[in-house]
Amino acid sequence: MLDTSEKIETPEGVDLEVVPAGVIVRCLAYLIDFSIRAVIFIVLAILLGWLGDLGAGVLSIFVFLLEWLYPVVFEVFINGSTPGKKLMKLRVIQEDGTPVKLSSSVIRNLLRVVDFLPLGYLTGMITMVLSGNFRRLGDMAAETMVVYDDSVNIYSISEHCQRRPLPMPFKLFEQQAIIQFSQRAEGLSEARQFELANILSPMLSPTTTETNQQAVDALHEISNELIGRTSGEQEVKS
């Protein structure tokens, strides 16, 4: 009852239980990122200071880009974590459990200005405390949340199989069964894989008979398609 974990359902139909990050740990992550940006600013100021007014102008551009692109680049391209979040074991995800989108990252970071008001991110901290899942206004607008990284398991596209178009619309529990089989197959014996694949294979090719290995490969390919339809070639949180 005292746990702050939340259960959400990904577009792939997989139940996802995550632990939202609280105010203190997010503040620490922000301070780490702020310190990194401050060090970069000081180094740039020293290097560009020799250029006089030109250097001041170039420095202003760098500061603007550093302030607004720093979090977006890391969140979108480095697995949802800035260096500060990485050190505190945090990650930004969409509220449906999928990787954070570029548009969502831009929105949540642009609205830091609003969350900062009137001073020291007071509005953002009050919103996080009252929201129930520690989301500031930027997170609400972008439909994102910050969670503990170790509370998120990774469902990734299988590298040894291609993607196969869905032979028919699958129900939610059928999608769950296929994805979970594919992700857990390496931990199963070959005989157990064949046994489970043969149970599920009638859904994939009801009019043909496939060998044991073909049935296993078919499930991997369908799983790749189910995951890839939402995340492209990115990993899906579940």
Identify whether 1 is part of a domain.
Answer: no
pLDDT score for 9: 62
The amino acid at residue 61 is I
| pTM of structure | 0.62
How far is 141 from 144, CA to CA, in rounded Å?
Answer: 8
| pLDDT score of 2 | 40
pLDDT tier at 232, thresholds 50, 70, 90: very low
86-143 pLDDT per residue, tens: 999 999 988 877 788 899 999 999 999 898 888 878 898 899 988 878 999 999 999 9
Which is it for the CA torsion 156, 101, 5, 35, positive or negative? positive
Regarding beta strands 6-9 and 144-148, do their DSSP bridges make them parallel or antiparallel, or are they unpaired?
unpaired
Beta pairing, strands 154-155 & 144-148:
unpaired
Domain span at residue 217 reads: 154-237
Looking at the fold, whether 32 and 141 belong to one and the same domain comes out as yes
Residue 228 pLDDT > 70? no
% helix, strand, coil for the chain, step of 5: 60, 10, 30
Last residue of a domain, one of 151, 183, 218: 151
Q: Which residues pair with 50 in a beta bridge?
A: none
Query: Average pLDDT for residues 62-71, to the nearest whole number?
Result: 90
| 189 and 132 together in one domain | no
Arithmetic mean of pLDDT, 28-56: 90
User: Which one is predicted more confidently, 124 or 160?
Assistant: 124
56 assigned to some structural domain: yes
User: pLDDT value at position 237?
Assistant: 42
What is the pLDDT at residue 47?
87
Structure tokens at 31: 């301070």
Same domain, 26 and 113: yes
Residue 51 has pLDDT above 80, yes or no: yes
Averaged pLDDT, 161-166: 66
The tally of domains found in the chain comes to 2
**Burial degree of 92 (CB within 10 A; 0-12, 13-18, 19+):** buried
- CA neighbor of 30 nearest in space, from 73, 67, 78: 67
Question: Which of the pair, 212 or 54, is modelled with greater confidence?
Answer: 54
The span from the CA of 43 to the CA of 96, in Å, is 40
> Is a pLDDT exceeding 60 seen at residue 208?
no
Indicate whether 23 and 49 sit together in one domain. Answer: yes
**Are both 27 and 139 inside the same structural domain?**
yes
Give the pLDDT mean for 17-21.
82
Residue 181, pLDDT above cutoff 80: no
The encoded tokens of residue 7 equal: 């259960």
